[in-house]
Structure 1
């Protein structure tokens, strides 16, 4: 029994050493990533928006059951990059300058209210519809008329809890990237809903 115990100890020590090394490597990589995000915020949020837009629309197209539309896909990617780097990065900086970066109950409530009750329905969603409609040659007024309300309502269900976590727990430098990662489901849903009427029209035309 003692011999077996002695034989098992080197294996255990080797495993623990490997775990410690892996943990150290992950911590070092995370620190480098954090430093890059803080030093290059525009590039970081642009990359996050690109990944979210690409995955979100690809999933939405797959869920819709239609042939893959590269033009639509590129339109959603380009808007997601614009949304993250041009809209949300300066908007979040404004919120921090106006209400402070500290996560107090008052500041979090004000930021969530302005983000989800004002900025998203009045700026983000209309711009998304306009941008993607131009990219795809679709009608902006028709898409807004048919899909705006459903998209905004779905956005409130998804984004309000995410915004609370984001403004309450995430450091300011990482909020746009966290939002991009957490909003993958929202990006998929927004793309799916915003093209719902287009899919119906296509089915009617093919049926005719």
Structure 2
């Protein structure tokens, strides 16, 4: 990379670094979730509502099961399992009920859609997220965890949209 490009990246990092520290991290995580789901319209509101949950969820997991690198692999695997058994189903429910509400469905209609589609969602979730979370918990610094997940969510949201609207 040319030296001008490196200077530009260093400048960009210097400007963006405060967004991943302290109190600004919650705002960064919240708006990041919302913005990446924003292309779907009402998905923006659902994404923004998930941002604070994910922010505090990862803080709690890191506090509960501290892990660093490969030496922390047993705790990393526990985090992945807890994430899959607790957060993933909860976020799936959140997605279907939240979007249903924003799109004018009754609670009964949203719950029926959830019953119809949940197991398909959850099986696909197990195919994607354990590996993604393994990378997240092993290699991604804690302040970047939600941003990393947001990047992967671009593809995942395409699947969720397909599942919801087919």
| 2:20 aligned residue | 37
Residue from 20, 23, 33 that aligns with 2:6: 23
- Is the 2:67–2:73 contact (alpha carbons within 8 Å) kept by the matching residues of 1? no
- Is the 1:37–1:174 contact (alpha carbons within 8 Å) kept by the matching residues of 2? yes
Q: Please give the alpha-carbon distance, in whole angstroms, between the structure 1 residues aligned to 2:137 and 2:10.
A: 24
Q: Structure 1: state its 5+ residue gaps.
A: 1-15, 58-72, 197-208
Residue from 96, 99, 108 that aligns with 1:129: 96
When the two structures are superposed, what TM-score results if normalisation uses the length of structure 1?
0.72
| 2:82 aligned residue | 114
Give the number of the structure whose alpha-carbon radius of gyration is greater.
1
- Is the 2:31–2:51 contact (alpha carbons within 8 Å) kept by the matching residues of 1? no
After TM superposition, what 4+ stretches of structure 1 lie above 4 angstroms from structure 2?
none
Q: Structure 2: state its 5+ residue gaps.
A: none
- Is the 2:61–2:79 contact (alpha carbons within 8 Å) kept by the matching residues of 1? yes
Residue from 81, 89, 100 that aligns with 2:48: 81
Paired residues in the alignment total 160
Question: Shift in Å at residue 170 of structure 1?
Answer: 0.4
Q: Please give the alpha-carbon distance, in whole angstroms, between the structure 2 residues aligned to 1:31 and 1:165.
A: 25
In structure 1, the residue corresponding to 2:121 is in which secondary structure?
helix
Task: Let me know the Cα RMSD of the aligned residues.
Answer: 1.6
- Is the 1:108–1:167 contact (alpha carbons within 8 Å) kept by the matching residues of 2? yes
- Is the 1:53–1:77 contact (alpha carbons within 8 Å) kept by the matching residues of 2? yes
Q: Please give the alpha-carbon distance, in whole angstroms, between the structure 2 residues aligned to 1:141 and 1:44.
A: 31
Greater CA deviation, 130-139 or 33-42? Answer: 33-42
- Is the 2:55–2:146 contact (alpha carbons within 8 Å) kept by the matching residues of 1? yes
In structure 2, the residue corresponding to 1:183 is in which secondary structure?
helix
1 or 2 for the larger relative contact order (CA 8 Å, sep ≥6)? 1
Question: Shift in Å at residue 83 of structure 1?
Answer: 0.8
| 1:97 aligned residue | 63
